């Protein structure tokens, strides 16, 4: 029998503000046949629709798509979480 020790640790869930990560909601579209995908700002839904139409134009047998609204999240250690101290130390080393 395996025994586990569970400890309470504080984590914070929020938007992922990592540079390069889109901050606005995205519209992700994936071809149901080959898996090729695109992602555009949700405000530009027409661009996602155009991509699907063009994709089927290039590959006439690829006619199904999966579309989803995407936002990026990050779970970060906070408070007394030991990982918070490590991230602070790493940040000091980096800059």
Long-range (24+ apart) CB contacts under 8 A made by 4-11 are 9/77, 9/80, 9/81, 9/82, 9/83, 10/77, 10/78, 10/79, 10/80, 10/81, 10/84, 11/75, 11/76, 11/77, 11/78, 11/81
Q: Toward Zn ion, which CB reaches closer, 47 or 89?
A: 47
Alpha-carbon radius of gyration of the chain:
20
Region from 3-11, 27-35, 42-50, 72-80 binding Zn ion, contact rule CB under 5 A: 27-35
Minimum distance, C-beta of residue 60 to Zn ion, in the bound complex (Å) = 10
Minimum distance, C-beta of residue 69 to Zn ion, in the bound complex (Å) = 21
Region from 18-26, 29-37, 43-51, 86-94 binding Zn ion, contact rule CB under 5 A: 29-37
Region from 16-24, 37-45, 52-60, 80-88 binding Zn ion, contact rule CB under 5 A: 52-60
Minimum distance, C-beta of residue 35 to Zn ion, in the bound complex (Å) = 7
Sheet holding 65-70, edge to edge: 37-41, 26-31, 65-70
Q: Which residues bind Zn ion (CB under 5 A)?
A: 31, 33-34, 36, 59, 62
């Amino acid at each position: 029998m395996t025994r586990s020790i569970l400890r309470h640790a504080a984590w914070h869930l929020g938007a992922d503000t990592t540079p390069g990560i889109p901050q606005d909601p995205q519209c992700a579209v994936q071809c149901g046949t080959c898996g090729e995908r695109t992602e555009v700002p949700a405000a530009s839904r027409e661009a996602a629709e155009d991509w699907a139409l063009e994709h089927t134009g290039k590959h006439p047998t690829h006619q199904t798509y999966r579309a989803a609204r995407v936002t990026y999240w990050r779970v970060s250690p906070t408070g007394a979480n030991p990982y918070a101290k490590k991230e602070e130390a790493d940040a000091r080393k980096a800059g």
